[in-house]
Every structure is written in structure tokens, then in C-alpha cells.
Structure 1
């Protein structure tokens, strides 16, 4: 079965690379275009299942491209998500009139981007690459430190085995040592993304506990986590 195709359209290479990185764990083919003209050519040759498109681009802007797509009976069913600047209600109104299906605001939030993509194709995985582990973690709950164990970890989050009661979207402060030569202490902020409760398991293969999405980690912290994950996945011979 062919993988779903997602087309990313933006004239800024950095934005395209960022969006591609969000989709790296998903079972999808990613196409890119730098303006509306290139996007139209790609869509007409090989129609994608979903399009994320910037509003402001050279040669042909996203509004015009969206209007042309939605006026074509062979292409109009393709969902188009427009990327607009925060607070620019005029762009949103114009995009809506052009027939777009949804909006995202720049700067792009990874979780919101993947949640949006997930609305249109279940091939999108909102989790980053994780590896199994057994790392002691302290987190603050109602002002008091609580011990738990991380059973999997990635550069965007972790799963904590714990019987403490937490709520989805509850924010936590966490501290842990990575098992590396330098053993850097990471003090992180996170959000409870989902909860594995007794009798109501989201993931049957995991014990009671909860998944944590990391919020705004410093770049060096993301690098440490990524390096740790890669080192465990590809051990030295």
C-alpha cells in the first residue's frame, strides 16, 4: 500500500526543514515546493493527500495557489492548511475565502503541526523516535519532589512509570541524569500528554504512568537527548 503524501510549501528553506523534521517518525512521503507555481506543478503531476502552505511567497502566493486548487474539480478535495502570521486576521479571512480547510500560525509549534496533520491522515505519528531506558527521574508535584522511572525517552518527551495522580495538560518540572560519560543533569519543563491508568490503559504494553511532552527545552538539552538516543540505537562495535 502506497504511503500517504504530504506537500510542504514555503519559500523559506529553514521552515521546510523544520516541518520535515516534525514528520520524520511518520509513515508518509514528504514533498516540498518553494512557491505556489512549483506547488501547482507537483500537485498536478502527483496529487498529495495533504498540503501545508505558507501565505506569503514569491511568484505565486499561497492564497492564489489555494484558490486555483479549490477551483479544480480534480484537486479540490485535497485538504489545504494555510500558515499565517500571528495576529494577521486579514490573511486568515483571505485564505478562508480561497477555500482552505484549516490554519496554523507561525512560528510553528511541533505538537500543533502534528495534531493538525493527524486530522487528515492517521499515518502521521505524533511521537518522536523513542528508545527504551530505565532512568531515575524527579518531578515536582504540588511543590514536592516525587521519584519515578523513565521507561522510554526521546528528544521530545518520555514515559514515566508512576502511580501518582496527574492530569492531562498538567505542567511539571523534571530533573534527570543521562547515562553518558559526562552525565549532564537535565532540568526540564514538561506537559502531561496522556495517562496510563489502572483499568484504562492507553498503551497496554506500558505500566501505570504517564507520557510527558517536553516544553521549550534549550537547544543543548535537545542535543544531549538526541545524542543519547542515537548512541543507544547505534551502539559502537
Structure 2
């Protein structure tokens, strides 16, 4: 199964590694380039599905690269998100004139980066790092209850193992007890962000089920979830 390809273009290795870390939970292939000329060479050999490109680079900057890319009838449909300097409206005007599809300002914010990436491909997972667990859960498919087992959990969502068939982006309500000295019942709203179906596994290490992204998480639910996640994380060794 071929994953969508995302290209990251920046002359700063630290920025490339940061952006790659944002995508580590997503089912995408990542390719990098250090300047616009290198990016164009790679794009023409194997076009990506989405490009995040810095504006200011040596050899060929992002404006020149995007202009050439958008002038090519075979490549002009590839979305380009330009990384611009915060507060510089002239940068945005230049990027817009070059034909870029969207903007992102530096320093790069993880949530904004993933929100933009997901706008162009739903293979991008915006969740934080999930922690393993085994929590029985009930969820509603329409008005019908179904059983599942939560196998990982984070502050943005869960993975639910179940044989129940769902639709991608289907709205859900899920109820589960968070373990502890005083178990807490959580009733959560969300949607099926991705499906792990029999015969079409997105994540081969997980059983059939779905990834649920939380929606409308209230203060009480958020606090209870944060406390539970803290209890799952291993304690840092104390300094001797």
C-alpha cells in the first residue's frame, strides 16, 4: 500500500527534523530537500502529494521554486505551503504571487502544521503521542451501542479495537472508565479519523478498529484525561 508523500524543503536541518517529528505518527512517506533546486529535481522524478517549503534558502529560494512548479502543467496541482517570517505581510504577498496554496509562519507550531497538512491529505494524524492501555468502552453508532476496547489513548483521541464497521469521519460518542483509585467515567464526542479495516490495515500492528479524534472536549474531561495520562507515563529516574 503506497502512502501519500509529503516533501519538506528547508536549508536548516533542525527545521527539517522538527517537521519530520510532527509527522512521525502519520501514515505518510516523507522526503526532504535543502533548497528549491534540489526540490525541483526530486519533484520531477517522483511528484509528492504535498510540499512544505521555506521561503528563504540558498541556490534557489521558495518563491523561485514555487513559481517554476506552478508554471509546469504536470506539477502545478501539487499543493505548496510556504513557510514565511512571522509578521512580514510582504512575504505573504510574494508567496501568493508565486502561486502557493497556503502559508505557515516561523517558528513552526505543531498544531497549525498538522492542521494544514490534514487539509490536503487525511493520512496526516494530528494526535499527540498515544500511551498503551486496555480499557473496555461502549460507543454509539447512530443510536445503536457497540462494544470496543481502547488500546491506546492520548489527549486528542484513542484507538478502539472493534469488529464494528464504521464510516470514515463518522461522528461518535464513546464512554469508558479511566482506571485509578477512583475510576472516572468519561463520555466523549469525536469522529472516526481513520479506519483499520480487515484486509485494509492502515496500521499493521493494531487489530481491526478505528482511531477516534476527540471533539468538544470540556474542561472536566480534559483534566481527568490529563491526570490519567500522567499516571500511565513512567516516572523519570531521580538524579543521584
Range of TM-score over shorter length: 0.5 to 0.7
User: 2:34 matched to 1:42?
Assistant: no
Specify the alignment match of 2:76 in structure 1: 76
Instruction: Using the TM superposition, give the Cα deviation of residue 2 of structure 1 relative to its aligned residue in structure 2, in angstroms.
Output: 1.1
Specify the alignment match of 1:12 in structure 2: 12
The TM-score, its normalising length taken from structure 2, stands at 0.60
User: 2:26 matched to 1:26?
Assistant: yes
Q: Is the 8 A contact 1:9 1:35 kept in 2?
A: yes
| Aligned positions, number | 165
Determine helix, strand or coil for the equivalent of 2:77: coil
State the distance in 2 between where 1:205 and 1:74 align.
35
Determine helix, strand or coil for the equivalent of 2:32: strand
Residue correspondence of structure 1 range 46-195 to structure 2 within 5 A = 46-133=46-133, 153-154=153-154, 157=155
Structure 2 unaligned spans of 5+: 135-150, 159-179, 181-186, 193-209, 219-229
User: Are residues 73 and 159 of structure 1, via their aligned partners in 2, closer, same or farther at CA, if it must alter by over 3 Å?
Assistant: closer
Instruction: Using the TM superposition, give the Cα deviation of residue 129 of structure 1 relative to its aligned residue in structure 2, in angstroms.
Output: 3.1
State the distance in 2 between where 1:205 and 1:2 align.
20
User: Are residues 49 and 209 of structure 1, via their aligned partners in 2, closer, same or farther at CA, if it must alter by over 3 Å?
Assistant: closer
Instruction: Using the TM superposition, give the Cα deviation of residue 205 of structure 1 relative to its aligned residue in structure 2, in angstroms.
Output: 8.9
User: Are residues 209 and 118 of structure 1, via their aligned partners in 2, closer, same or farther at CA, if it must alter by over 3 Å?
Assistant: closer
Where has structure 1 moved over 3 Å in runs of 4 or more? 151-154, 157-160, 201-206, 208-212
Determine helix, strand or coil for the equivalent of 2:125: coil
Q: Is the 8 A contact 1:8 1:31 kept in 2?
A: yes
User: Are residues 47 and 159 of structure 1, via their aligned partners in 2, closer, same or farther at CA, if it must alter by over 3 Å?
Assistant: closer
State the distance in 1 between where 2:98 and 2:216 align.
41
Q: Is the 8 A contact 1:4 1:49 kept in 2?
A: yes
State the distance in 2 between where 1:50 and 1:71 align.
17
Structure 1 unaligned spans of 5+: 135-150, 161-178, 180-194, 213-224, 232-237
State the distance in 2 between where 1:68 and 1:158 align.
39
Instruction: Using the TM superposition, give the Cα deviation of residue 196 of structure 1 relative to its aligned residue in structure 2, in angstroms.
Output: 1.8
User: Are residues 211 and 13 of structure 1, via their aligned partners in 2, closer, same or farther at CA, if it must alter by over 3 Å?
Assistant: farther
